[in-house]
Amino acid sequence: MNPKISLFLFLFGFGIFSCNIPKELSVPDRARTADIFSRAFIDKVISGQLESAFLDVDVEVLNDAAKDFFISESQIFNDAVVKKYRVVEVNYSSTVSTNAGKVINYRLGYEYEFEKGIALFTTVIKENEGKLTVFAFNRQFLPAPLAELTKFTFVDKSTLHYIFLAFCILVPLFVIITFIVMLFTKTKVKKKIIWALLILLVVSPKFILNWGDGQFGFNLLNIQLLGCGFTKPTLFSAWILSFSIPFGAIAFWIKRKSLKSRKEQSEN
């Protein structure tokens, strides 16, 4: 194999598998107030300050069932000591309506480490006319830190995982090699621009695999650069792998001979 191609393959594979995923997210200034409010509410539930916690809950969701839920959550923790916490999700969106005006919803996630275990807290904080309220709250105990639970590993993976990973590596390599060959093909510049867009973007359908639980799916219509993707929606999400059939690149190889012959005929 050509040394340059071997070097490219090595760098491509190294780039995919050496991604350094942070264990904690930084909170943007826009969400900092909501983050402080959210963590204060969680601390109230953990420490048993329920009357104060009830005042923070949005009136739309605060009912007897919600109060019983928070009471049971508080009893589970029984004023446990928090060793450290990490921010693992920060998302926010805004809506405008004639009744409520502008409402901003902040979705926040935290990994709390206690002396006897680890818990994942998620909250939805609603901001309306400058007032913050807790609109949703959830807690989940974890058997290990999120960094361990969601890391990219080959342990206990099925044949489907390996086949899917192979396509996620081979498809972009095929697209890139096709793109390079197209650049050196003797044809008009305008046609090269068109073929570049077709090769890089025309891919369908999109096959999707959750690397953690092996769930498989697909989308018929999509635009995906280089025909593959490796994403992690949140720090507590599993890796999501995807690839698409590169119809644009395949079409180029089918048409390549005719493109060259047309160029040669025009020159003659």
**DSSP letters spanning 133-160:** EEEEEEEEEESS-HHHHTS---TT--HH
Is pLDDT of 46 > 90? yes
Tokens of 91: 């998302």
Note the pLDDT tens digit of each residue in 187-230.
Answer: 778 888 888 888 887 777 888 888 877 788 877 766 667 778 88
Q: What is the predicted pLDDT for the residue at 115?
A: 86
Angle at 17 between CA 91 and CA 109, to 5 degrees: 20
Domain 29-146, CATH among 3.40.50.300, 3.10.20.30, 3.10.450.50, 3.40.50.2300: 3.10.450.50
Helix and strand totals (H; E) in the chain: 8, 8
**For the chain, which residues make up each domain, given as ranges?**
29-146, 150-261
Closest to 211 in 3D by CA, of 142, 160, 255: 160
Q: Alpha carbon of 57 to those of 67, 137, 193: distances in Å? A: 10, 9, 56
CB neighbours of residue 144 within 10 Å: 9
Q: Alpha carbon of 143 to those of 39, 46, 118, 161, 241: distances in Å? A: 22, 19, 7, 24, 24
Band (112; pLDDT cuts 50, 70, 90): very high
Q: What is the predicted pLDDT for the residue at 231?
A: 79
Closest to 206 in 3D by CA, of 241, 239, 172: 241
Q: Which is more confident, 229 or 9?
A: 229
